[in-house]
Amino acid sequence: MNTYDSQVAAGILEKEGFEVIAEADDPEDCLDALGKPRLSKGADIVLMNTCSVRDHAEERVWGRLGMLGKEKKENPRLIIGLMGCMVEEHREKLFKRFPYLDLMVGTRHIKELPAMIRQVLETRKQVARIKQDGISIEYSEYTKRGSGFHAWLPIMTGCDKACTFCIVPMTRGSEVSMPAREVCREAERLVSGGIKWITLLGQNVNSYNGRGTGSGERRMSEATFPELLEMLCSIEGLERVSFTTSHPSDATEELFQVIARNPKIGRRFHLPLQSGSDRMLKRMKRLHTYADYKAKIDRLRALVPDISITTDIIVGFSGETEDDHGATQRALEEIRFDSAFIYKYSVRPGTPAALLLDDVPLDRKVSRNQELLVAQRAITEAKSQSFLGKVFTVFVEGRNSDNPKEQIGRMDQDRRVILEADQDYVGQFVRMEFTGLHHETFRARVASSR
């Protein structure tokens, strides 16, 4: 969602005559891009799009703001802005703690960025637009995408679940869905511009209801999520539809059936488990037990044998014992995820879990995290090795910037593939035989075009 927001911000700013001179995804790249030589070469504005999901992400932004404060002492004309969830979470505190911060824009006001920057330029006063209600998704024809073939498409945002560890309901607000006809209209517009692969976005796409985005225009449901998927699959020229993220309690048989009968739907299903212990799941208020979760995965795998299942795991949540940790270890071995994002729990102030004791010592969080990472790495490696020598469909997205002889693609299971071929396949779905594996990237050669 943040990637999409950044693309919208960059596109709108360029349309209004601003020039984007550096973009960085990774915090370390950010440091390089924001380093002094670059700034003094002419950046007038630095915008950071922030995430509040983990303490670690926030810490990095605090550090970066400190660095930018020093830069501003030498270059008082520099405009420093913050976007994203930290703005929603910390609001006024940010202006007080960082008086040199010029602007803050909430997740629902990105289109106002150019006007806000102009206001700062004219008045040199701090300006903020942060409001949680109202329209939360707006499609922009000026979105600046990294790919000419793939687009992110938010269909809903916010969340009405109340997982005790999670800051999202506070930062992104209550659930709102885009009406289905608007999603389809936007998808058709994207396809007419050359997009072939769309990834639908939402905090919990499974609870999509198509009821509209503004409080004054809530209607009867236009479509469920499975119905929306079917509508999108019928769009000519749209070759692949993926989505993220799902919630186990809303992932239904109807959804699995739709995935099974639509080859256009990507073969990766990301379903956060969070813990293998029912006691922890209850403390997290996840609304599912391990047995519920496992039954859904078994059903999905039975219906869609080539589906890749990925997950999120939190280690060291409040009250987690060795037994709870053991249950998560067993879950990894039993389900054998294709990959898993495994994080140490960090308290998010303001969440229900912030009232619980954060009683797992850091060294235990670190060791449990390591144990799960090692176990999952072995599973991922074994699964990846089993792909070698087989043929899969891969979408070729572009050339490798480090080695233009190589073409880069993604398979239906959303894994990265490097293709060595003389012929140009960029923009095509190609059947490829997998010949090698380096870290998590496959190497492949063309088997036969589809």
User: 252 exposed, middle or buried (CB, 10 Å; 0-12, 13-18, 19+)?
Assistant: middle
Q: Which is nearer to ligand SF4, 91 or 161 (CB)?
A: 161
Question: How far apart are CB 156 and ligand SF4 at their closest, in Å?
Answer: 11
Shortest distance, position 250 Cβ to ligand SF4, whole Å: 9
Q: Under the criterion CB under 6 A, does residue 242 sit at the interface with ligand SF4?
A: no
Asked if residue 169 binds ligand SF4 (CB under 6 A), the reply is yes
**Of residues 245 and 428, the one with the C-beta less far from ligand SF4:** 245
Nearest of 364, 345, 367, 344 to residue 356 by alpha carbon: 345
Choice between 247 and 344, CB closer to ligand SF4: 247
Listed in order, strand segments (DSSP E) in 203-239 are none
Q: Which residue number, 177 or 203, has a Cβ lying nearer to ligand SF4? A: 203
For ligand SF4, which residue of 12, 113, 168, 238 counts as binding (CB under 6 A)? 168
Angle at 176 between CA 173 and CA 181, to 5 degrees: 160
Select 204 or 339, whichever has its Cβ closest to ligand SF4: 204
Residue list 186-225, contact with ligand SF4 (CB under 6 A): 203-204
Pick between residue 350 and residue 398 the one whose CB is nearest to ligand SF4: 350
Strand segments, DSSP code E, in 155-281 are: 156-157, 176-177, 197-201, 240-244, 268-270
CB of 245 to ligand SF4, least distance (A): 7
What residues between 266 and 295 interact with ligand SF4 by CB under 6 A?
none
Q: Is 54 helix (H, G, I), strand (E, B) or coil?
A: coil
Decide whether 111 or 161 has the Cβ nearer to ligand SF4.
Answer: 161
CA distance 41 to 67: 17
Give φ, ψ of 148 to 5 degrees: -85, -5
| Number of residues binding to ligand SF4, judged by CB under 6 A | 9
Q: Are 357 and 319 in contact (CB under 8 A)?
A: yes
Least distance CB 62 / ligand SF4 (angstroms): 23
The angle that helices 322-335 and 290-303 make with each other, rounded to 10 degrees, is 10
- Report helix, strand or coil for 284: helix
CB of 345 to ligand SF4, least distance (A): 12
Report the C-alpha gap between 71 and 131 in whole angstroms: 30
**Among residues 61, 166, 180, 342, which is the contact residue for ligand SF4, using CB under 6 A?**
166
Pick from 72, 150, 247, 410 the residue near ligand SF4 by CB under 6 A. 247
Shortest Cβ 169–ligand SF4 spacing (Å): 5
113-127: b (≥16 Cβ within 10 Å) or e: bbebbebbeeeeebb
Phi, psi of 394 (to 5 degrees): -130, 135
Q: How far is the CB of 387 from ligand SF4 (least distance, A)?
A: 30
Q: Report the residue number, 259 or 281, with the smaller CB distance to ligand SF4.
A: 281
DSSP state of 319: T
User: Quick check: 307 and 269 in contact, CB under 8 A?
Assistant: yes
Q: How many Å apart are CA 254 and CA 23, to the nearest integer?
A: 40
User: Which residues 124-163 are close enough to bind ligand SF4 by CB under 6 A?
Assistant: 159, 161, 163
- Is 169 or 179 the residue whose CB approaches ligand SF4 more closely? 169
Contact string (CB under 6 A) for ligand SF4, positions 100-119, x = contact:
--------------------
| Least separation in angstroms between CB 56 and ligand SF4 | 17
Select 38 or 161, whichever has its Cβ closest to ligand SF4.
161
Q: What is the DSSP string of 368-398?
A: HHHHHHHHHHHHHHHHHHTTTT-EEEEEEEE
Q: How far is the CB of 159 from ligand SF4 (least distance, A)?
A: 3
> Which residues contribute to the site for ligand SF4 (CB under 6 A)?
159, 161, 163, 166, 168-169, 203-204, 247
